[in-house]
Amino acid sequence: MTLVYVEHQDGRPDDASLQAIALVREITGGAPLHALLAGPGAEDAAAGLGAHGVATAHIAEHEALASHAPVALARCIGELIERLSPAAVAAAGSERGNEVLAHAAALGDLPLAANCVAAEAGDPLTVTRIRWGGSLLEDARLHGPVKLLTVAPHTVEAAEVGAGPATLERFTPSLADADLVVRVVETVEQSSEGGVNLADARFVVSCGRGAGSPEGFAPAEELAALLGGAVGCSRAVTIAGWRSHTDQVGQTGTKIAPEVYLACGISGATQHMAGCKGAKRIIAVNVDPEAPIIANADYAVIGDLHEVIPAITAELRKAGAG
């Protein structure tokens, strides 16, 4: 069998976790698929996992798991490994998913492959994973009694398989004080322009140093608001202090998967492309026709963003958008 650690919010499993489930379904060989959930809303989130092929959802119940505690969650995985003897354990390749499985690998002295995009059943387990900020794909083989892997977000489509509801099993993990040294003690909600979260937006307008100044983002904000989207930026912009780090798209920022990504005045470094490669369409606006992002874009406009973005906005208003 295979075990998947499922992240969730507001009683719903995260899309990245459902994508991880979709990938590991391919390597189960018909064996049961189990899931681990913890924290408030875990039972509600588990209710829909059966449709994705999960046979049993294990709910870890402990007051310390009311907030994210990576080592404690790794202990939960360790307990389930001892009890269930899974062939593999998977999670979403999110910040939290990678963190939890890294602790589980260290505690259990087990192999871990992060940010996988494909896997092939067998012993050893063969995986393809993203390396060097998305600039290359690596084929690797995992040897060990239990193989751990995380699945890169937005590289596999989540899909229901029409199975019945998952069986719920609750358990109380044995946790020590040392397992709770690292945990989330407070969550501060980040306000989003127009109430649209960057990671979930269907349309994202990003600007780089080509914006020229913090005030140079005004056209991007107007266009994003018109389309019900969000505004992003490059790492160079956050380093300059023009925008918050929460607006950064990239390997060290937010990974996005919008329907359309409009990248303006952004050169397209490897680290930035690692954050937007999940976009369905990439439109690049740049004065430099040789900018790396041009080669990665579906469409390109060679021009100044301060002229191009207002022109797009004006045409959309003529068409009745907004």
pLDDT in tens, 1-15: 999 999 999 999 999
Sheet with 281-286, edge to edge strand ranges = 230-233, 203-207, 260-264, 281-286, 299-302
- Residue spans of alpha helices (H) in 126-217: none
pLDDT at 321: 67
d(CA 6, CA 17): 5
Whether 263 and 283 have beta carbons less than 8 Å apart is answered as: yes
In this predicted model, what pLDDT tens digit does every residue of 284-312 receive, in sequence order?
999 999 999 999 999 999 999 999 999 99
- Please list the residue range(s) of the chain that carry CATH number 3.40.50.1220: 193-318
pLDDT tens column, 34-89: 999 999 999 999 999 999 999 999 999 999 999 999 999 999 999 999 999 999 99
In the chain, list all ranges with CATH 3.40.50.620.
2-180
d(CA 208, CA 28) in angstroms, rounded, equals 43
Amino acid at 284: A
Total residue length of the chain: 322
- One-letter amino acid at 307 equals E
Architecture of the CATH domain 193-318: 3-Layer(aba) Sandwich (3.40)
CATH class of 2-180: alpha beta
Confidence (pLDDT) at 251 = 83
Q: Is residue 193 predicted with pLDDT exceeding 90? A: no
Phi, psi of 38 (to 5 degrees): -150, 160
